[in-house]
Amino acid sequence: MLAGTAGDVAPRPAPTDSGVLVVAVIVQKYGGSSVADADAIKRVAKRITEARRAGDDVVVVVSAMGDTTDELIDLANRITPTPPLREMDILLTAGERISMSLLAMAIANLGVHAQSFTGQQAGVITDDSHGRARIVAVKADRIRKALAEGNVAIVAGFQGVNEASNDVTTLGRGGSDTTAVALAAAIGADVCEIYTDVDGVFTADPRIVPTAHKISRISYEEMLDMAASGAKVLNLRCVEYGRRHGVDIHVRSSFSAHTGTLVTDRPLPEGEGLMEQPLIAGVAHDRSEAKVTVVGVPDVPGTAARIFEVVAASGVNIDMIVQNVSAAATGLTDISFTLPADDGQKAIGALTDHQAEIGYGSLQYDDQIGKLSLIGAGMKSHPGVSAKLFGALRDAGINIEMISTSEIRVSVVTRADQLDDAVRAVHTAFDLDSSEGEAVVYGGTGR
Amino acid sequence: MLAGTAGDVAPRPAPTDSGVLVVAVIVQKYGGSSVADADAIKRVAKRITEARRAGDDVVVVVSAMGDTTDELIDLANRITPTPPLREMDILLTAGERISMSLLAMAIANLGVHAQSFTGQQAGVITDDSHGRARIVAVKADRIRKALAEGNVAIVAGFQGVNEASNDVTTLGRGGSDTTAVALAAAIGADVCEIYTDVDGVFTADPRIVPTAHKISRISYEEMLDMAASGAKVLNLRCVEYGRRHGVDIHVRSSFSAHTGTLVTDRPLPEGEGLMEQPLIAGVAHDRSEAKVTVVGVPDVPGTAARIFEVVAASGVNIDMIVQNVSAAATGLTDISFTLPADDGQKAIGALTDHQAEIGYGSLQYDDQIGKLSLIGAGMKSHPGVSAKLFGALRDAGINIEMISTSEIRVSVVTRADQLDDAVRAVHTAFDLDSSEGEAVVYGGTGR
């Protein structure tokens, strides 16, 4: 419709006869803080038009403005403590409707054609799990058409539609990141840029470790472990989606033009960067967990299984587990596990309800713990990593309460008030400190 | 889906063998002031559940909360003075999305099943005129299904979808009233109740005429003339839609249980109310117009036509026209017309651009005018109405500047500062004053 009147930005050029297409297709995702008010929206619009004017095809995924989503949740809570999930999803999706149309207006005001699309219009098809829907397909015909006609396509993040019922759904926390990666996969974008308020993924939280530096390149696997271990800059689901569909994810700041962190498994171009894989990607930490200890458990087969069945049935995911060696005299043992502190009540309630059946003595609950995780694909071939980690913590006078390891990760639980010291000690011990501010972590090997 | 779990409200009973269906189907429309905040929404929810618990099938059309729409317009204006209309429609429809989902939550909280639907989900199909779309069809299958499953169906007013492009549209000012009447027609509702902050349609504005009283029954034709003449309680398009599809419209207060004004052409049941049609339905007034006088127009065929062609081409609708008798000596005349004061600049600009071509002398602009309209289907058979009106205004010392008449209406233009006195004088002269507060105006005759 607009193809013939595309202002000062030409429609996407057709591939040449040799099949070479010089135009890059970019998906950009902006979070709520990047579009918090009219001025912020205008700033983002300027950045988008610059990419468009450089000749790229640009799809933008946008979250609701600032605190809009929280305000809408407050409004619902003033009506009822138990809002039906279907209605909650309709309510919350109003937020992106506002931000996406305002952003399209701001771009149009800069002389570049833009059209906004709801999750439904963009073809984001989900299952019917209101409030935490999963994307099952992306039918991006309308987005492709909008690009072909010379538009920047603005898409509402966080939302989709259940095709069977034509009902609006939301993807849950961090859903806009997943929308962006899913769209990038559907239209075969060259890169999915996730704009945020930090410069990228760091070797540790710079608020705790001033010498932490930005990671310029990291594998999906390491990024997944970083995210699962408390690094909040990228949503776990979005990284998982990116890995499954091979979408390069570029995490960068919306407040600067600096390159951020590229999440990819592609090998570096020859001659660029480090040729050997570094040992460690980074040190993540997490203060949001709590520890439950089930004291005096009969040390007979099946008891531990029953404990975790009961906890799972209450809808709680557990993280680390430690079972003490049983005391020969009593035949009793203790079992400790960690879980999100928000779920503590639920797990304690479920275990209390089944105390007689399981036959344990008592429960202990401790939310003053912290978890430190050391992540690096390189540690697969370096068996000394755990020993070095424990040594660094010992030297810093920090007691380890629980340990868990995977192929590319070692996690330990400490006292919460020792966590910052622990992170700094480990960061230094593994030579991650830098006065330069940037490191190349070359995690992927072309998987 | 919910049919088997419809809580304490049973699904709609099927018609009996004799075809008698005792359930009434009601459409209720609530404006922005009725759902301005959480408490107001809960109040409205209570009223809706009472109708539902009485056994009726209830469809609710709702506007955006309070000033939401104006706030969204402000937000757009902070981005750009010229927002694309398509994006403006996406932005504005966020308002009803919020109010409709909150209302559904509030009803569910009272133990009654409710589901909210966007204009698109409710099957409100429009043309593609963004910002002032017209309804071309209502495919209310989903609403019928929701009712059959025992739900109260909440529908977003003011919005629809252009089926060809799957783009969201808005119906323009007062659009929610039209949505309600269109849905009532589509599902064959027994009545469309328009809830507002006044008790109904009055014989005159009670703020000007303390003795004005509520009209309990009025014909579509009279209501159309009342609305066109400045009575703001009902939107013109909604009354027109109601007339075309024979939908009874009940205008009533959301703050009381009183019966309001029924707009219908059905005859009163035998033995009820007046058996003779009263002369006058009411006195409307309008302060929103201005008068343009084109001075020194050559009194030759075609000149008047050219003036109104120029004004029409500028997109301005004119209302009343007066052409003076031409002065024989000069062959020149003056032509005056009224138009919405908001359009004054546009009309003056267009006429100025064409001054040489039309050949007039000068323009005069006057926005200190008021319009009084006397409306009544009964005046068709009473030729003395105009004379009585002019006499009443003369006795009150009020000068008449322009006059226009139709079959059921006489309108006059006065000085703006004399308008209130004029309305009071005419209200009294036609015996509309009442100390009782209610009158039956039996306008329709079974058309």
User: Across the interface, do B101 and A90 touch by the CB < 8 Å criterion?
Assistant: yes
Mean pLDDT confidence for A146-157: 97
pLDDT at residue A435 tops 90 = no
Residue of A nearest to B84 (CA): A105
Q: What are phi and psi of A191, to 5 degrees?
A: -160, 150
As a whole number of angstroms, the distance between CA B327 and CA B322 comes to: 15
| Mean of the per-residue pLDDT values of chain A | 88
Residue A377: the pLDDT is 86
Would you say the C-alpha torsion B240, B246, B252, B258 has a positive or negative sign? positive
**Integer CA distances (angstroms), B367 to B204, B232, B337, in order:** 23, 20, 12
pLDDT at residue A7 tops 70 = no
Residue of A nearest to B161 (CA): A121
Residue A269: the pLDDT is 72
| Mean of the per-residue pLDDT values of chain B | 88
User: Across the interface, do B80 and A105 touch by the CB < 8 Å criterion?
Assistant: yes
Q: Do residues A323 and A304 lie in contact, with contact meaning Cβ atoms separated by under 8 Å?
A: yes
As a whole number of angstroms, the distance between CA B277 and CA A24 comes to: 74
Residue A5: the pLDDT is 36
Confirm or reject contact between B5 and chain A (CB < 8 A).
no
Interstrand relation of A332-340 and A321-323 (parallel, antiparallel or unpaired): antiparallel
As a whole number of angstroms, the distance between CA B361 and CA A308 comes to: 94
Mean pLDDT confidence for A133-148: 96
pLDDT in tens, A30-49: 999 999 999 999 999 999 99
Of A82, A90, A106, the CB nearest to B79: A106
Residue of B nearest to A40 (CA): B79
Confirm or reject contact between A91 and chain B (CB < 8 A).
yes
Residue B384: the pLDDT is 84
The count of CB pairs under 8 A between chains A and B is: 110
Residue A86: the pLDDT is 96
pLDDT at residue B5 tops 90 = no
As a whole number of angstroms, the distance between CA A226 and CA A309 comes to: 28
Residue of B nearest to A103 (CA): B79
As a whole number of angstroms, the distance between CA A336 and CA A321 comes to: 6
Identify the H or E element spanning B428: helix B419-429
pLDDT in tens, B95-125: 999 999 999 999 999 999 999 999 999 999 9
Which has the closest alpha carbon to A72: A98, A41, A106?
A98
User: Across the interface, do A105 and B84 touch by the CB < 8 Å criterion?
Assistant: yes
Share of chain B above pLDDT 90, in %: 73
Residue B272: the pLDDT is 61
Mean pLDDT confidence for A74-88: 95
Which 8-state DSSP code applies to residue B147? H
Structure-model confidence comparison of residues A151 and A442, the more confident one:
A151
Q: Write down all domains in chain A, each with its CATH number in brackets.
A: 22-279 (3.40.1160.10)
Confirm or reject contact between B75 and chain A (CB < 8 A).
yes
Confirm or reject contact between A146 and chain B (CB < 8 A).
no
**pLDDT band (50, 70, 90) for residue B437:** very low
Mean pLDDT confidence for B379-408: 89
Structure-model confidence comparison of residues A15 and A59, the more confident one:
A59
Neighbours of B331 (CB within 10 A): 11
- Minimal C-alpha gap between A72 and chain B (Å): 8
Interstrand relation of B249-253 and B191-196 (parallel, antiparallel or unpaired): parallel
pLDDT at residue A127 tops 90 = yes
As a whole number of angstroms, the distance between CA B42 and CA B438 comes to: 30
Residue of B nearest to A94 (CA): B94
User: Across the interface, do A91 and B101 touch by the CB < 8 Å criterion?
Assistant: yes
Residue B412: the pLDDT is 94
User: Across the interface, do B90 and A38 touch by the CB < 8 Å criterion?
Assistant: no
If phi over 0 gives left and psi between -120 and 50 gives alpha, with beta otherwise, what is residue B374?
Answer: beta
Neighbours of B66 (CB within 10 A): 18
Confirm or reject contact between A115 and chain B (CB < 8 A).
yes
pLDDT in tens, B16-75: 455 454 679 999 999 999 999 999 999 999 999 999 999 999 999 999 999 999 999 999
**pLDDT band (50, 70, 90) for residue A12:** very low
User: Across the interface, do B90 and A75 touch by the CB < 8 Å criterion?
Assistant: no
Residue A13: the pLDDT is 46
Confirm or reject contact between B28 and chain A (CB < 8 A).
no
Share of chain A above pLDDT 70, in %: 90
Tokens describing residue B391: 């006499």
Tokens describing residue B367: 């926005």
Of A84, A98, A109, the CB nearest to B91: A98
Mean pLDDT confidence for B180-207: 95
Confirm or reject contact between A87 and chain B (CB < 8 A).
yes
Residue B274: the pLDDT is 53
User: Across the interface, do B72 and A41 touch by the CB < 8 Å criterion?
Assistant: no
Residue A439: the pLDDT is 42
Full-model pTM: 0.83
pLDDT at residue B438 tops 80 = no
What is this model's ipTM?
0.80
User: Across the interface, do B101 and A118 touch by the CB < 8 Å criterion?
Assistant: no
Residue A27: the pLDDT is 98
Confirm or reject contact between B268 and chain A (CB < 8 A).
no
As a whole number of angstroms, the distance between CA B322 and CA B319 comes to: 10
pLDDT at residue B15 tops 90 = no
User: Across the interface, do A101 and B88 touch by the CB < 8 Å criterion?
Assistant: yes
User: Across the interface, do B115 and A86 touch by the CB < 8 Å criterion?
Assistant: yes
**Which residue in the block uniquely carries the two structure tokens 């538009």?**
A151
As a whole number of angstroms, the distance between CA A210 and CA A206 comes to: 5
pLDDT in tens, B136-191: 999 999 999 999 999 999 999 999 999 899 999 999 888 999 999 999 999 999 99
As a whole number of angstroms, the distance between CA A298 and CA A158 comes to: 47
